[in-house]
Amino acid sequence: MIRTGLAYHAPESTREACALLADHGDGAAVLGGGTMLLPAMGRGEKTHDHVVDLRHLGLDGVTVTDDLVEIGARTTYSTLLEHELDGVAGLFTLAAGGITGGPQVRNQGTVGGSASYANPASDMPGVLVATGARLVLEGPNGTREVPAADFYTGAFETVRRPDEFLSVIRLARRPAQVGYYKVKLSESSWPIATASAQVQVEDGRVVSGTVTLGGVCARPFTVDVTALLDESGNFRGADRELDELVDGQIEDPWHDELAPGRYRRQIAGVAARRALHHTTQGGER
């Protein structure tokens, strides 16, 4: 139960949504799937006098063209799973299949909501950075597009201004072998670390390989692992070198109620290794 009064708005147009957010500033919250915002308001951790529900703006759905994948911000994880996304975009499918909370939450949680909430331990921030996605923000002065790597400024912090909302996630279709792995304590637990691996192979020869780690630091980060792959793109098994590469990027590991920073630092390399293995052995959660 939300104990404070609020006015609910379901704008019919982008312009109307932007005007509402501009009028009410920090007092307004953008409602995505509701899975994080509403419990936080119920606990009194967040108070907003206005809630702006984007459900009438047609932002739910996935469009795939020859070059691009566009994911509406209100696309739920189950809708995402109805599409066979290939190449790098396949990372979205792998992550969506393992979202915590069961089928109900996969029917409710949205890609854009998770992207904007910016919980370091969520699946989406790491996947967005890994896929090189660009986030389209609508605001009173028009539209701007921000690369995912620049979108996140810290834990629960993004460059989105209070009078803006995320409308679309846009990424280039690129062929790649992908693998996803996350460390979590149990099926219903939040991830402690996520690893999104991708290997590009052209004409039978490896071109590049990266692993993006989420949940390890406040912001996702990417490690170039090309040198650790053989000619076909398989991980050569240089565990120690991979651990060092990953560890070298961790200055200030994230900590929350699930795990301290030192634990995350220790398992980051393991997550990266397993995600890399999945690029050739089929992606698993």
Partner 1 sequence: MSMLDTTDVTPDSTPPRRLLNLTVNGQRRTVECEDRQLLVTLVREELNLKGTHVGCLNGDCGACTLECDGKIVKSCLMLAASADGSEIVTVDGLGTPEELAPIQEAFWNEDGFQCGFCLPGHLFAARDLIATNPDPTDDEIRQAIAGNLCRCTGYQSIVNSIRVAAAQARAE
Secondary structure (3-state) at 224? strand
**Interacting residue with partner 1 among 13, 63, 104, 226 (CB under 8 A):** 104
Minimal distance in Å, beta carbon 252 to partner 1? 29
The two three-digit tokens of residue 248, written as one number: 């070298």
The residues in 109-148 that bind partner 1, with binding defined as CB under 8 A, are none
Task: Please choose, out of 30-38, 82-90, 241-249, 261-269, the segment that lies near partner 1 by the rule CB under 8 A.
Answer: 30-38
Minimal distance in Å, beta carbon 105 to partner 1? 6
CA atoms within 13 A on the CB side of 86: 6
Minimal distance in Å, beta carbon 61 to partner 1? 15
Residues near 84 by beta carbon (within 8 Å), at least 6 away in sequence? 93
DSSP letter for 73, please: T
- Using CB under 8 A as the binding rule, whether residue 261 contacts partner 1 is answered as no
CA distance 120 to 117: 9
The two three-digit tokens of residue 9, written as one number: 């708005």
User: What is the pattern of x (binds partner 1, CB under 8 A) and - over residues 45-64?
Assistant: --x-x-x-x-x---------
Residues near 184 by beta carbon (within 8 Å), at least 6 away in sequence? 100, 190, 191, 192
- Using CB under 8 A as the binding rule, whether residue 155 contacts partner 1 is answered as no
Best CA proximity match to 77, nearest among 98, 63, 56, 58: 98
- Using CB under 8 A as the binding rule, whether residue 107 contacts partner 1 is answered as yes
- Using CB under 8 A as the binding rule, whether residue 101 contacts partner 1 is answered as yes
Minimal distance in Å, beta carbon 109 to partner 1? 9
- Using CB under 8 A as the binding rule, whether residue 4 contacts partner 1 is answered as yes
Task: Please choose, out of 1-9, 58-66, 83-91, 228-236, the segment that lies near partner 1 by the rule CB under 8 A.
Answer: 1-9
Size of the site for partner 1 (CB under 8 A): 31
Our CB check for partner 1 shows the closer of 38 and 64 to be: 38
Run of H or E including 188: none
CA distance 8 to 5: 10
Our CB check for partner 1 shows the closer of 8 and 142 to be: 8
With residues binned 3-state (H G I as helix, E B as strand, rest as coil), the percentages for the chain, rounded to 5, are 35, 30, 35
CA distance 34 to 36: 6
Handedness of CA 174, 137, 159, 77 (dihedral sign): negative
**Interacting residue with partner 1 among 31, 69, 217, 259 (CB under 8 A):** 31
Minimal distance in Å, beta carbon 187 to partner 1? 4
Cα radius of gyration (the chain): 19
Our CB check for partner 1 shows the closer of 109 and 233 to be: 109
**Matching residue, tokens 């980051």:** 268
The two three-digit tokens of residue 57, written as one number: 């703006």
**Interacting residue with partner 1 among 19, 22, 105, 267 (CB under 8 A):** 105
The two three-digit tokens of residue 116, written as one number: 């904007």
- Using CB under 8 A as the binding rule, whether residue 5 contacts partner 1 is answered as yes
- Using CB under 8 A as the binding rule, whether residue 78 contacts partner 1 is answered as yes
Residues that bind partner 1 (CB under 8 A): 1-2, 4-8, 10, 31, 33-35, 38-39, 42, 47, 49, 51, 53, 55, 78, 100-105, 107-108, 187-188
